[in-house]
Amino acid sequence: MSNTTTRTGQAAAAAVMILALAACGTMPTNPPDAKAPTKPTVPADSANAPAPTSTTPSLTPPTYPTGKAGIPRGPLPNPARVNGQDPDAVVVAALTVMYAMDTAIDTTPHDATVRAAPYLTPAYADQLKDHQPAMAPGAQWQTWTAHHAYTTATITPAEDPGRPSDTPTTAYRQYTITTTAHGDDGYTDPAGPTGTAFVELTRTDGGPWRVATVQVR
């Protein structure tokens, strides 16, 4: 996918640092470094290794092909008009783009998430861009493809009194997502993906808020 990503190394470094601070527990936790070395699960080059047994194939599957560059048909926010000083506006914009899928250009829902880059920290944008799903997108996507469908998302605020308070550099938000697919000949499917997104935003030096990670639960 070709996306314009603003690369501000400084901001990325700061974002990673903040995440690392947030995750300084005794157990390994999700985020921080996109560039952490990945370990192959089986020796990639087994010239000197014993011959792999034929009964244990690789658990590192090939990836599913990526989609095409292009603009999805659903309504999208205009990055120039999204108020970067308002974390809610940034979250809504990011989730709207992430769930604006289009079977005319995308091969899986993941392709849409990559397009949210303008609203993401460079580190998170890279994490998404560097990934491709291992498996096919499934039956609902197939049906949508047959109907030449795209999706639109409704993003609604959700609250829990335990949400962490905003600091000058970190904010958390919780939104629910519902999606509807729209296809040719009036086809609609209101039963697209739904979920609750827990979103972490970061910023540096009073700059615009950017989404540092999303967890859909």
Q: How far is CA 82 from CA 94, 118, 212, in A?
A: 10, 10, 17
Residue 172 C-beta: closest distance to other proteins, Å: 4
Residue 129 C-beta: closest distance to other proteins, Å: 11
Residue 89 C-beta: closest distance to other proteins, Å: 19
Which of residues 78 and 165 has its CB atom nearest to other proteins in the complex? 165
Which of residues 133 and 183 has its CB atom nearest to other proteins in the complex? 133
Which of residues 82 and 97 has its CB atom nearest to other proteins in the complex? 97
Which of residues 102 and 200 has its CB atom nearest to other proteins in the complex? 200
- What are the φ/ψ torsions at residue 147 (nearest 5 degrees)? -95, 5
Residue 210 C-beta: closest distance to other proteins, Å: 14
Which of residues 69 and 136 has its CB atom nearest to other proteins in the complex? 136
Residue 9 C-beta: closest distance to other proteins, Å: 20
DSSP 185: G
Which of residues 7 and 163 has its CB atom nearest to other proteins in the complex? 163
Could you tell me which residues come within 8 angstroms of residue 205 by beta carbon, excluding any fewer than 6 positions away? none
Cα–Cα distance measured from residue 90 to residue 52, given in angstroms and rounded to the nearest whole number? 49
Q: How far is CA 100 from CA 47, 94, 150, 207, in A?
A: 46, 10, 7, 26
170-182 vs 188-189, strand pairing mode: antiparallel
Q: How far is CA 124 from CA 35, 157, 166, in A?
A: 11, 22, 20
Cα–Cα distance measured from residue 25 to residue 37, given in angstroms and rounded to the nearest whole number? 21
| Chain center to CA of 178 | 16
Q: Which of 162, 160, 166, 159 lies closest to 201, judged by CA?
A: 166
Residue 93 C-beta: closest distance to other proteins, Å: 15
